[in-house]
Structure 1
């Protein structure tokens, strides 16, 4: 895998050099050039992810007096997030919105996102990722994977969204649940007694509708804005993970931008991150109300039995991840 990353890094760097020399300005070479970026994600047009992308595009266009434009492709128009990441490595996609865990296939360090029941609540999560430890984790992931994860679009806690009611852990026995193809997620749901099924995000709706899967786990806003509630009208408030999506870049590409472009990008992303966290917190109750009005039944669960079933997950994690987990739990 590291050999693959090295090869792709060389290809991406070569693409950047050729673009800068050509003078077409598409990828952000010399100062003053027009820059056009392609941004892709898997979420719906009304999702907070897409609204954040639109806000980023507006911020950058204003800051650059129109020299930087961002073309946005929601709803997996450019492929699955896995495919978009691969396109980003070679320069055909510039920005992808996804989570830390999505790069676990490139580095075991990204498994930190999938450690279940790591945070007591949202405040604990924010304290962790707003700290120096959060910066340390992001830098380590960049160095080991090649991906630079910038900003944060807060997603809220992940819940269990199913085609049948799940009121306790016993109800979940054998449940065919879609999970991303990430080892930590798979291990977690195996420990919980379900039958985790890795599946691309853009196949989840049809999988639920056709019975290939019986559940998916994501924040409440995903159940709403990707219309999963239409085919899976039950939600168990497991709150097993807290997390954010990020504006992902190929690290060497970002490092190759001129200083002015990096500064405008960083400032634009910081503003979107602050705005999106406020909006996510404000809209949480609205999302729940919308789902209830559209026939979704919510159930609280006794998290104790779920936590106990997954205590050993961290034991198989990378030693650095285990160190971070200890720091987070102590904090």
Structure 2
């Protein structure tokens, strides 16, 4: 196993507390937390839940949740955390990818077989070293990770084969791993800020977008791109990132309180997203008038029971496998290049059981 792979996973930042000098926990610690996403989205609700949980516990650590994109987009707020003007951001793990070439693999098409595969990697012993390295070099520490359901493509067209993604203009954040990921399946990635996606779909700037159904509903993508395609090509991961100086200035007791609250919120996020994903898709189909396309028979059956058999379409397994092989080949071609993961990383990830 390569050194870079061994660095990857971390256990909810508990290990990061070992060896820290305990500081006196006299005054209450007050932290600013930003989640950037619109009101009603899963991340927004998670920020509210973290605030409420700590307040109800009357803990020595309290948070003030700054809702919506008032401080900027995710990249801008992440940088504000690094410089210390914001204490914590709760966001997609993709925004931590610039801190580690290896983390880019968490947002690349078809790298992970399923949620269990991804969770197994995130929960392995490999993460703590990487987290400490990022904290030392970048001034930002990752606290906890919630593995979420698969993202889905929202499009005006109805993809039913791999070729249907060729040249499709898919909205992407301005991150090289996402850009290359969409190119890997033949699509044409088009950078658009998250809060501008609906307008981009409505005006035709993009043909589709990729996101968690529970986050799409309050952003109304389905009203401009009604067809929902779930190929389990990429899974959502939510992380919390805290300013390292702020973290190291907290007592070990306050660190433990914060981590415990984050772990509880992460468990809620995972359970909520999983429970609501298919019912949300059915609701999106009803509101937008589209169909649900997937290779997964169980998901087709579940959505058909909720929305009607005429609302589901099968994506052939062999077509999905063709997309998967194409994406993994593109990912392997990036190995060893500057700013990308080391040679052999994707094969080693695939070998994790």
Partner of 1:88: 81
Q: Would the alpha carbon gap of residues 32 and 75 (structure 1) be closer, same or farther in structure 2, given more than 3 Å must change?
A: same
The superposition leaves residues 180-218 of structure 1 with CA deviations (integer Å, 9 ceiling, x where unpaired) of 111121112223222111222122122112221111111
Task: Kindly state the Cα deviation for residue 80 of structure 1 after the two structures are TM-superposed.
Answer: 0.6
Partner of 1:77: 70
Give the stretch that moved more between structures: 116-125 or 143-152: 143-152
Given that 1:39 and 1:73 are in contact with CA atoms closer than 8 Å, whether structure 2 keeps it comes out as: yes
Structure 1 runs not aligned, ≥5 long: 1-28
Task: Kindly state the Cα deviation for residue 134 of structure 1 after the two structures are TM-superposed.
Answer: 4.3
The superposition leaves residues 195-248 of structure 1 with CA deviations (integer Å, 9 ceiling, x where unpaired) of 111222122122112221111111222222322112111122122112311111
Q: Would the alpha carbon gap of residues 101 and 139 (structure 1) be closer, same or farther in structure 2, given more than 3 Å must change?
A: farther
Q: Would the alpha carbon gap of residues 308 and 251 (structure 1) be closer, same or farther in structure 2, given more than 3 Å must change?
A: same
Task: Kindly state the Cα deviation for residue 324 of structure 1 after the two structures are TM-superposed.
Answer: 4.6
Q: In 2, Cα distance between the equivalents of 1:308 and 1:167?
A: 17
TM-score (norm 1): 0.82
Q: Would the alpha carbon gap of residues 321 and 129 (structure 1) be closer, same or farther in structure 2, given more than 3 Å must change?
A: farther
Given that 2:115 and 2:148 are in contact with CA atoms closer than 8 Å, whether structure 1 keeps it comes out as: no
Structure 2 runs not aligned, ≥5 long: 1-22, 295-314
Q: Would the alpha carbon gap of residues 120 and 43 (structure 1) be closer, same or farther in structure 2, given more than 3 Å must change?
A: same
Given that 2:35 and 2:47 are in contact with CA atoms closer than 8 Å, whether structure 1 keeps it comes out as: no
Given that 1:30 and 1:258 are in contact with CA atoms closer than 8 Å, whether structure 2 keeps it comes out as: yes
Given that 1:43 and 1:226 are in contact with CA atoms closer than 8 Å, whether structure 2 keeps it comes out as: no
Q: In 1, Cα distance between the equivalents of 2:112 and 2:45?
A: 27
- Residue 79 of structure 1: SS of its match in structure 2? coil
Q: In 2, Cα distance between the equivalents of 1:116 and 1:287?
A: 23
Tell me if 1:31 matches 2:25: yes
The superposition leaves residues 233-285 of structure 1 with CA deviations (integer Å, 9 ceiling, x where unpaired) of 11221221123111111223212222222121111111112222222221122
For residues 46-125 of structure 1, the aligned pairs below 5 Å read 46-63=40-57, 65=58, 67-125=60-118
Q: In 1, Cα distance between the equivalents of 2:87 and 2:320?
A: 40
Partner of 2:284: 291
Partner of 1:11: none
Partner of 1:309: 326
Q: In 1, Cα distance between the equivalents of 2:343 and 2:217?
A: 34
TM-score (norm 2): 0.78
Given that 1:167 and 1:236 are in contact with CA atoms closer than 8 Å, whether structure 2 keeps it comes out as: no
Q: In 1, Cα distance between the equivalents of 2:133 and 2:220?
A: 35
Given that 2:148 and 2:236 are in contact with CA atoms closer than 8 Å, whether structure 1 keeps it comes out as: yes
Task: Kindly state the Cα deviation for residue 140 of structure 1 after the two structures are TM-superposed.
Answer: 4.6
Tell me if 1:214 matches 2:203: no
1:266 to 259, 262, 266: 259
Given that 1:173 and 1:192 are in contact with CA atoms closer than 8 Å, whether structure 2 keeps it comes out as: yes
Given that 2:101 and 2:341 are in contact with CA atoms closer than 8 Å, whether structure 1 keeps it comes out as: no
Q: Would the alpha carbon gap of residues 272 and 194 (structure 1) be closer, same or farther in structure 2, given more than 3 Å must change?
A: same
Tell me if 1:40 matches 2:39: no
1:231 to 224, 236, 239: 224
Q: Would the alpha carbon gap of residues 243 and 270 (structure 1) be closer, same or farther in structure 2, given more than 3 Å must change?
A: same
Partner of 2:270: 277
RMSD, aligned α-carbons: 2.3
